A and B are shown apart, each in its own frame.
Chain A
């Protein structure tokens, strides 16, 4: 089992390498001269040429890429931001805890919201409660994140005056952003939990449990839900990218100084090093979460644990 974990961690490295390459390559396609962007159009050509030499911008693509990776791995140096003129890493570092908080609470909220409601919805199939939940979930998934954010602000911030609409001053200011990120995500979880539970309730082992005299609650939670969790966890993993996308929007609307809003700043100011570094870091985080989700399977389903232990994938 441990061997499997180690192997997966090692496999992560070439993928992240590929990700870095991909991002680097895409940004390579952007037109324009970096030196001009940094120094401005009016700067004298000699200064620009000097800067190009200094930054190694005249080297061929692969050399630049290799140097970039080397700088990251050896010095943790992600380059200099063209916008702030600071080392990119310095710009990013204070933003990491904010984004992490947002993303983690987002997942927790979505899971605590989606799974229990999904179970209830399945158990009370076709009742008013179930149908209401389904309608709400279906609609919520169709609402773009920024609109949801604005509606929440309208309702809870200016309307009721309960919650702040911006800044990361305290944990309370995270409430609306977390609901924004986690809400639609939670609805997806609700729907998949409901449909998987409905399937599991029809399975033979549930009939066996009832025939044994096991109380209904235990049948629902201990038997059916435990089996239903596997596809649910799969969906949580698959849709996790959406929460990261949503967090970028949430950070912008709620003025949270996280990595997501840095990406937007970077794109709008054409600050390539910042964009590359931010997207790379977010992708690393994403990959680690996916690995954790994958490992979670083993804890939920002993058949998968056996497969992992044997060394298959």
Chain B
């Protein structure tokens, strides 16, 4: 049995062979994903990013983040300062690297919280139906009536601009969306013909939930969550830029750019380089999400 981990890109024939062997679905999905170049590259980028974030303090001295060096302020990129220095003489590259911790952790925590709570609510609503469903959905509708970013801003307004409140704010903003998503996914499956077939063959409810419902809902959830991380990272940086998110001097990417905003014409690198990191990160997550979506249901592809 060949294992394809990071080996050669599987050919069409190998793919067909694996499919016909009836291998586990996750292996099949993984193989399809591997054929998508942009997804694989993006996945690599994300892995690097995560490793950098986790081992940041091994790579770069933490003090560089806050160490001010007036003599070296506002210098362009150089061998010593890869991203140059900001108006206080701090090394921008170091700040961006440590900033990745903040962005990634907020992104991941928010996705975990919102998917869990939202997913649970959606599943409960779909499963129990009736009054429970109505109540949950009406409340969700109210939340959805407020534009996502504004809702997040309001929560931050109430709770103050700290990392914890930002996570809470974004979770609150994202949960209703996940509730609706999971609810419609579960409803779609519960009514579908293959659940009917499973029941007709005599499968018990538990078995149906485990074997049919969950695997089929997981797909869209995973895709949406992956792209959700990108969207959350973008939102966090926007909130920080506007001053209603993570405050300086914490080196969140948006807040780094906020501090540099007056230097747009004089020293654009201060904005463009951190900005590039934001774009690449969001792009990577989006592309992996796209790749996952195509891998999960190849019929959706062009």
Contact = CB atoms under 8 A, between A and B. Distances in A.
A241 B154 contact: no
A221 to B, nearest CB: 20
B147 interface: yes
A234 interface: no
Given A29-B158, A153-B264, A283 B150 contact: yes
A27 B158 contact: yes
Contact of B149 (A18, A141, A248): A248
Interface string A142-176: 11111100110110001000000000000000000
A197 B242 CA distance: 38
B264 A244 contact: no
Given A198-B302, A283-B150, A144 B254 contact: yes
Nearest to B147: A241
Interface majority SS (helix, strand, loop, mixed), chain B: helix
Contact of B142 (A18, A153, A270): A18
A125 B302 contact: yes
B215 to A, nearest CB: 25
Given A15-B145, A150-B261, A283-B145, A245 B154 contact: no
Interface in A268-284: 268, 270, 272, 275, 279, 282-283
Contact of A142 (B154, B264, B265, B279): B279
B145 to A, nearest CB: 5
A139 B287 CA distance: 10
Nearest to B253: A144
Nearest to A147: B275
A287 interface: yes
Contacts of B280: 142
Interface in B230-289: 230, 234-235, 237-238, 241-244, 254, 257, 261, 264-265, 268, 271-272, 275, 278-280, 282-283, 286-287
Interface string B100-144: 000000000000000000000000000000000000001101110
A146 B244 CA distance: 14
Nearest to A266: B157
B153 interface: yes
A245 B173 CA distance: 12
Contacts of B287: 138
A31 to B, nearest CB: 8
Interface centre among B138, B139, B153, by most chain A C-beta atoms within 10 angstroms, is B153
B222 to A, nearest CB: 19
Contact of B265 (A144, A147, A154): A154
Interface in A218-255: 240-242, 244-245, 248-249, 252
B217 to A, nearest CB: 20
B150 A248 contact: yes
A147 B157 contact: no
B147 A283 contact: yes
Nearest to A140: B279
A89 interface: no
A143 B272 CA distance: 11
A4 interface: no
Interface in B132-183: 138-139, 141-143, 145-150, 153-160
Nearest to A271: B157
B154 A275 contact: yes
B143 A249 contact: no
Given A241-B147, A245-B150, A146 B241 contact: yes
Contacts of A279: 146, 150, 153-154
A36 interface: no
Contacts of A29: 158-159
Contacts of B254: 144, 146
B137 to A, nearest CB: 12
B264 A154 contact: yes
Interface in A126-143: 138-139, 141-143
A263 interface: yes
Given A26-B155, A150-B264, A267-B156, A283 B146 contact: yes
Given A154-B268, A195-B302, A245-B147, 13 more contacts: A27-B157, A138-B283, A138-B286, A142-B282, A143-B278, A146-B241, A147-B257, A151-B275, A241-B149, A267-B154, A270-B157, A279-B146, A283-B145
Interface of B: 138-139, 141-143, 145-150, 153-160, 230, 234-235, 237-238, 241-244, 254, 257, 261, 264-265, 268, 271-272, 275, 278-280, 282-283, 286-287, 302
21 contacts: A15-B145, A27-B157, A31-B160, A138-B286, A142-B280, A144-B254, A144-B275, A145-B234, A147-B278, A154-B268, A244-B150, A245-B150, A264-B243, A267-B156, A272-B157, A275-B157, A279-B153, A282-B150, A283-B147, A286-B145, A290-B145
